[in-house]
Structure 1
Amino acid sequence: MPRVPAHLRERALGMLQGGMRTADVARAINCHVRTVRRLRQRYRETGRTADHPRSGRPRVTTPAQDRYIRISHLRDRYRMATTTARVTPGTHNPSISAQTVRNRLREAGLRACRPVVRQVLTRHHQQQRRLWAQTHLRWTRQEWQKVLFTDESRFCLTRGDGRIRVYRRRNERYTEACTLERDRFGGGGSVMVWGGISHHHRTELVVTAGNLNALRYREDILLPHVVPFMHAHPDMILQQDNATSHTARSVREFLHDSNVSVLPWPAKSPDLNPIEHVWNLLDRRVRARAIPPRNVQELAGALVEEWGNISQQELTNLVQSMRRGCTAVLQAAGGHTRY
C-alpha cells in the first residue's frame, strides 16, 4: 500500500464509515481506489490503519559498535567520521561508510559543527577570571554606568572559512571539549580601529595605521581621545585589556599623571568586554552593505559610518549585560562563556 499520512488514513476511514463511495474517498485524499480498499480491508482485519511492520535494510553495525562510535567521538570531538569508518568493520562488509558513522552520531545527538574559536585559557587565567567575576558581580547598574569600555579590533576585507568541524550535542557549543583555542590573526587587506562605549556615551571610532605599540597608543589614542573624554566625565573609569601596549610602564604613568582611573581587568577575557559585541555588529553591518568595501580605504570609511549608525540603546543594553557576563564566568568556573 502506498504511503498515506496517518491523518489522511483516519479521514478516509471516517468517510467510508459515513457512507461515502470508495472512488469519492480516493479522490478526496488523492490516492488510488485500490489503496482505499486495502485500507478498509486492513481495518476490518486488524482494527488499525497503520502499515504492517517492514524489515527495511539490515543494520550494518552492532549495538557495541554503535557505542564505540559514540564514545570515540565524545573523547575526541575533532575526530573525523572517515577515520572511525576505516577502523570499524561492518556486519556484511570489511568496513562501514563515513555516512554510517554520521548517522550513528546523529542518533546520539552529535552533529558536525564549526567550533567556536577562543583564546587559550590556563588554570591561572581561569582562577583570575573567577575571582574578578566574584568581585564585580556585586556591582550595581549605576557602577557599571561609570565604565568606559575600550578596545582595538582588526577588520579584514576577506575572511577565511576553515573546514574544521567538531561533533557536539545541543547546548555544548561553549564547552571546553568543543571550543577551538587559537590566537587571533587575519589575512589580506585590513583596518585596525579603536573605540570606546559606555552606558550613555561613545567615543569616535579611530582608524589607526598598523599595530599600536605603547608610544602610539599613548600619543594617538590616550592623549587626543581618552584623556579629554575622561576629563569631561570625571566620574568615569577606563577599561582596557592587558595588551602590552596598554600595560607598559610609560602608559601606566601617563594615565596616573592624567588622573585617569583604570579598571583592573583579568587577562584573556574578551568575553567580559561588551564592546566585543559591537565589533561583531559592526562587521555584520559593513558586510551587509549594498556595495561592500573593495579596498581598505572604503573599508575604513564604512566602519566609521556604521559606527555612528549604531543606536545608543544597543550600546546601553550591552553594558547592562555585565552582571550576566560575570554570572556566566562563575558558572563556567572561569572558563569560556557564550559571551
Structure 2
Amino acid sequence: MTVILSSFLTFTGVVTNMVKSREWSRKTREEVITLHRKGNGYKKIAKMLNIPRETIGSIIRKFKAKGTVETLPGRGRKKMLTSTAVHYLKRRVEKSPHVTAEELRKDLSDVGTEVSAQTIRRTLRNEGLHARTPRRTPLLSPKNKKSRLQYAKSHVDKPQKFWDSVLWTDETKLELFGPMDQRYVWRRKNKAYEEKNTLPTVKHGGGSIMLWGCFASAGTGKLQRVQGTMNSLQYQEILDDNVMQSVTNLRLGRRWIFQQDNDPKHTSKSTRAWLQIKGWNILEWPSQSPDLNPIENLWWDLKKAVAVRKPKNVTELEAFAHDEWAKIPVDRCKTLVSSYASRLKAVITVKGCCTKY
C-alpha cells in the first residue's frame, strides 16, 4: 500500500493555518473608494458605512497600491491536502467504503503527509462522501443473485392487472420495546444517568409477538398472531383461516395469485402438498428477497405506528397492532403495488444484488 500510495501522491503539502479576517463585499469596497474620491475622510466614511476606520484605511491603501478592489489570489485558509491527495482519498473510499479515516491517515503518513483523521473526514465530506451506518441486507450468494435477476426479468413486463391480483403475505416480529421505539432526551453534560433522563428497559425486550399478515393493492387483509413457534402445520392452519377470507374481502377475483417467501415451513413437503390440494396459483419467489415483497414496507409502517402508542404490555401490543393494521390507507397499499415494476427494474440494474427497497 505504501509503495502504491507513494507513486500516486507525487506531492502533498501541509501548510500552517492562517487566521482569516472578514472579507467585505466588492460592492462595499467600491463604495469606500467612491466616497474617498469625493473627498471624504477615513473617519467620515467609517461612520457612513458602519465599518471600522482601520478597515477603511486598508481598503483605500490597497486600491492605491494595486489599483483594484478585487480579492487578490492567495487570500484565505490554504488547503492542507493537494488535489492529488484528495483524488487518492476519493478513489480509496469509493473502492473500499469500509476503510476508516484513521487507516487513511496512516496511509498518508507513510508517504510523509501528516494530517489528522478529522481533516480527512472533513475533506471527504466536502467531496460529498459522508460516513454513514451501512444498511443491513441479506447475504446473497451468486445463486441467489441469479435467481433474483431471472425473476425480475421474467416479471418486469407483467401488466398492472397481474400485480393487482397478488395477495402478498409474510410474518414479522413485534417487540414491546423494540428498535422502533426510538426516543431522545434533552439533558446537560454529565447528567445522562439522572432518573428523569433515562429510559428504563426490560431484559429481552419485555416481550414480543409474531404476526402473520397479508395485503393487496385493494388494502390490508387479515392479521393474525402466531402462537409459540410456528411450524408447517400451524402455518397451514393460519392460511386456512385467513387467506380466502382476505381474498373475498379484497375482491381479488377468481384469478388471484398467492405470494409467500421460501421459509422452510412455507416450502416443506407437507405445505407444498397442502397448497397443491388447495389449487392456489403460487407466485414463484427467489430466496433472500425481502426487498421484493412490498409488505415489508407495511410492516415498517405498522411498527412505527405501534411504537408511537407506547404499549405497556404484550396484550396492548397485539391490540394496537390490529388497530393500526386496519388503519393503513388503501392508497398506501395501491401505491406500493402500482410501483412494483420499479423494484424489478432496480434488481435488473444491479444485476440481482440488493436494492433500496
Fold match (TM-score > 0.5): yes
2:74 counterpart SS class = coil
Match of 1:47, as an amino acid? T
1:205-254, CA deviations, whole angstroms, 9 ceiling, x for partnerless residues?
212234422111111x1111013334674221111111111111211222
Match of 2:134 among 83, 108, 115: 115
Determine if the alignment matches structure 1 residue 53 to structure 2 residue 82. no
- Cα distance in structure 2, aligned partners of 1:303 and 1:104: 46
1:73-88 matched pairs, under 5 angstroms: 73-86=93-106, 88=108
Aligned to 1:152, the other structure's residue is in SS state strand
1:243 aligns with 2:260: no
Q: What is the deviation of 1:55?
A: 6.7
Q: 2: distance between equivalents of 1:231 and 1:254? A: 20
Which of 146, 149, 157 lines up with 1:130 in the alignment?
149
Decide whether aligned partners of structure 1 residues 11 and 285 sit closer, same or farther in structure 2, where only a CA change above 3 A counts. Answer: farther
Please give the per-residue CA displacement for 1:250-274, whole angstroms capped at 9, x wherever unaligned.
1122222122221111111111111
> In the alignment, is residue 272 of structure 1 matched against residue 292 of structure 2?
yes
Q: Which residue number in structure 1 is paired with residue 352 of structure 2?
A: 334
The alpha-carbon distance between structure 1 residues 102 and 201, as it changes in their structure 2 partners (threshold 3 A), is closer
Q: With the length of structure 1 as denominator, give the TM-score of the two structures.
A: 0.78
Change (3 A) 1:236 1:29: farther
Q: Deviations over 1:73-105 (max 9, x none)?
A: 334322222233345428888x54321332343
Partner of 2:245: 228
- CA 1:55–1:145: 2 relative to 1, 3 Å: closer
Tell me whether 1:297 sits opposite 2:315 in the alignment. yes
Name the SS for the 1:149 alignment partner: strand
Q: Relative to 1, partners in 2 of residues 1:255 and 1:27: Cα closer, same or farther, differing over 3 Å?
A: farther
- Distance between the aligned counterparts of 2:178 and 2:24, measured in 1? 48
Q: Distance in 1 between matches of 2:235 and 2:263?
A: 11
Alignment correspondent of 1:214: 232
In structure 1, distance between residues paired with 2:127 and 2:29: 37
> CA separation of 1:28/1:274 partners in 2, compared to 1, >3 Å: closer, same or farther?
farther
Aligned pairs, how many? 307
Structure 2 Cα separation of the partners of residues 2 and 101 of structure 1: 25
SS of equivalent residue, structure 2 residue 170: strand
**1:119 Cα deviation after fit:** 0.2
Equivalent in 317, 322, 327 of residue 340 of structure 2: 322
Query: How far is the alpha carbon of 1:26 from its aligned partner?
Result: 4.7
Is this contact kept in 1: 2:173–2:211, CA < 8 A?
yes
Which shows bigger deviation, 328-337 or 252-261? 252-261
Indicate how the Cα distance of structure 1 residues 97 and 248 shifts in structure 2: closer, same or farther if over 3 A, else same: same
- The offset of 1:324, in angstroms, is 0.8
**Contact 2:220 2:325 survives alignment (8 Å):** no
Aligned match for 2:221, one of 174, 183, 203: 203
Structure 2 residue aligned with 1:150: 169
- Percent identity over the alignment is 28
Q: Which stretch of the first structure deviates more once superposed, 71-80 or 14-23?
A: 14-23
Q: Which amino acid aligns with 1:281?
A: D
Amino acid aligned to 2:69: R
Q: 2:44 & 2:170 partners in 1: Cα distance?
A: 72
- Opposite residue 209 of structure 1, the aligned amino acid is Q
Shift of residue 16 of structure 1? 5.8
Deviation at 1:296, TM superposition (A): 2.9
Return closer, same or farther for 1:208/1:24 CA change in 2, 3 Å cut-off.
farther
- Contact between 1:195 and 1:204, CA under 8 Å: does it hold in 2? yes
Distance in structure 2 (CA, Å) of the matches to 1:50 and 1:79? 39
Q: 1:138 is matched by which residue type in structure 2?
A: D
Instruction: Give 3-state SS (helix, strand or coil) of 1:111's partner.
Output: coil
Code of the aligned partner of 2:334: T
Hey, what's the Cα distance between the residues in 2 that align with 1:17 and 1:62?
A: 40
Asked whether the equivalents of residues 137 and 327 of structure 1 are also in contact (C-alpha less than 8 Å), the reply is yes
Give secondary structure in 1 for the equivalent of 2:109.
Answer: coil
Q: Deviations over 1:295-335 (max 9, x none)?
A: 33332222222111210001000001111111111111111
Report SS of the residue matched to 2:136.
strand
* TM-score normalised by structure 2 residue count: 0.75
Q: Which amino acid in 2 is paired with 1:203? A: G
